[in-house]
A and B are shown apart, each in its own frame.
Chain A
Amino acid sequence: MSTVVTQQVDEVKSTPWSGGRSPFNVEYGKMMMWFFLLSDAFTFSSLLISYGALRFSAPTWPTPSLVFQSVPGTSIESGAPLVFVGLMTLILILSSVTMVLAVEAGHRNAKKEVIWWMVGTIIGGLMFLSCQALEWNHLFHEGFWWSRIPDAKTLQEFFKEGVPLSQQQMSSHQFANLFFTITGFHGFHVFSGVVINIIITINVLIGTYAKRGSYLMIEKVGLYWHFVDLVWVFVFTFFYLV
């Protein structure tokens, strides 16, 4: 009789949710990274949904293919909508691929490969940040900044004919504030991602993870880096396409 009871208790103890181990079967730090990213997803969606609400409620809005039609850093000033942002998107997707290749190399404990893929990811991140700096610089010189918009003549280039100036000015203010806040917040994430990637790469170089016997840390920063790419996918759609 008593043995049966003990057996039942043991059986209860062995289920995933009975304590004593992670029910999700992931390491603590990785799970916390997921939960952090979830909270960050809420932050970004609040920003993007506010943008959507303000844009829906505005009678007019600067046309994306007219605002973003130059390639900053070259002599192309107009007639090339989406080219520059397409380049930025490509860079970020590629750096996501190198990151996931670093994670894959980490599973095989291949230190050299991890280092090279991480270096590639860092270069991709820096290239993206440079592109964003060029883009911000370009918009700044057109007259856009937080709560600052270009003069009436420049402004008309971004709207269809016949939109009243007061409406142009109102929605351009909203556009400028939202654009710099949201791409700025995303760019700040890219920046901190690059810094974290550099720290982790130094740790790989000095052999911290080889000693530890696991390259799980690469997976954790990889999650963060892919999240940054994920946010860009949404920013790209809602600022440049829609």
Chain B
Amino acid sequence: MSSDTTTIHHDDAAHGDHEGMTKKRILNVFWILLGITAIEFFVALVIAPKHQGALWINPIYIVLTLVKAFYIIAYFMHLKFEKMGLILAIVIPVLFIIGLILVLTNESHYWIDLRHALSL
């Protein structure tokens, strides 16, 4: 309705957004996400069946997933264009997750050895 009141608006928080997402950039990110998903499908349906039990298949999925996560967080969630303080406040705590992954991966190897020892 009141277009004149909305155009005057220069909020401090909205100020950092002027270099944000244009429609073209949004579509670019969409094609990247779609392309990576297509590669994952190609690996799962064409490459993986030819190499049963190969150890390098899963790392491919994980790397591609992390690339997708980067594009979603950086562009769709706009974090790339925020202040460095906010980026660090969000990204650094996430690194603690790596700690839990290492601890529980290690633990699960112990469990499977235990299982073999007890022949369960």
Q: A22-B13, A223-B77, A237-B61 are in contact. Are A52 and B21 (CB under 8 A)?
A: no
**In the docked arrangement, what's the CA distance between A229 and B13, Å?**
25
Q: Judging by beta carbons under 8 Å apart, are B13 and A26 in contact?
A: yes
Check B2 against A104 for contact (C-beta < 8 Å).
Answer: no
Min distance, Cβ A166 to any Cβ of chain B, angstroms: 9
A57 to B37, Cβ gap below 8 A?
no
Task: Pick from A16, A52, A109, A226: contact of B108, CB below 8 A.
Answer: A52
Give the CA-CA distance A27 to B12 in the complex, in Å.
Answer: 8
Contact A211 B115 (CB under 8 A): no
Q: Is A133 an interface residue (CB 8 A)?
A: no
For B26, the chain A residues whose CB sits under 8 A away are 97, 100-101, 104
A152 at the B interface (CB under 8 A)? no
Given contacts A24-B82, A31-B86, contact A57 B115 (CB under 8 A): yes
Interface secondary structure of A, over-half rule: helix
Complex CA distance for A30 and B79, rounded to whole angstroms: 12
Supposing A22-B13, A26-B13, A56-B108 touch, asked if A45 and B22 sit within 8 A by C-beta, the answer is no
Residues in chain A near residue B5, CB distance under 8 A? 211, 213
Chain A interface size, under 10 / 10 to 19 / 20 to 34 / 35 or more: 35 or more
Chain A residue at minimal CB-CB distance from B20: A107
In the bound complex, CA of A65 to CA of B46 (Å): 12
A225 CB to closest chain B CB (Å) equals 9
Q: Number of contacts between A and B (CB, 8 Å)? A: 163
The answer on a CB contact under 8 Å between A241 and B44 is yes
What DSSP secondary structure best describes chain B's contact surface? helix
Quick check: which of A34-42, A70-78, A192-200 contacts chain B, the rest being far away? A34-42
A8-37 contact mask (Cβ, 8 Å, vs B): 1 or 0:
000000001000011111110011001000
Contact A109–B6 (Cβ < 8 Å): yes
Bound-complex Cα distance A99 to B21 (A)? 12
B71 to chain A, nearest CB (A): 10
Q: In the bound complex, do residue A53 and residue B105 qualify as a contact, i.e. CB atoms below 8 Å apart?
A: yes
The yes or no answer to A165 lying at the interface (CB within 8 A) is no
Please determine whether B77 and A25 come into contact, CB atoms closer than 8 angstroms.
Answer: no
Q: How far does the alpha carbon of A31 sit from the alpha carbon of B72 in the complex, in Å?
A: 18
* Segment touching B, from A81-89, A121-129, A140-148, A175-183: A81-89
Within 8 A of B (CB), among A88-102: 89-90, 93-94, 96-97, 99-101
Residues of A44-72 whose CB lies within 8 A of B: 45-46, 49-50, 52-59, 65
| Cβ-defined contact, A109 with B3, below 8 A | yes
Other A-B contacts than A42-B97, A59-B112, A213-B9, 11 sampled, CB-CB below 8 A, are A25-B13, A25-B83, A27-B13, A34-B86, A56-B108, A57-B109, A97-B26, A107-B14, A211-B1, A216-B11, A241-B61
A interface with B by C-beta (< 8 Å): 16, 21-27, 30-31, 34, 38, 41-42, 45-46, 49-50, 52-59, 65, 81-82, 86, 89-90, 93-94, 96-97, 99-101, 103-104, 107, 109, 207, 210-211, 213-214, 216, 219, 222-223, 226-227, 229-230, 233-234, 237, 241-242
A–B complex contacts, Cβ < 8 Å, 19 sampled: A31-B86, A53-B105, A56-B108, A57-B108, A57-B111, A57-B112, A59-B115, A82-B44, A86-B37, A90-B37, A100-B21, A104-B20, A109-B3, A109-B7, A109-B9, A213-B5, A222-B77, A230-B73, A242-B61
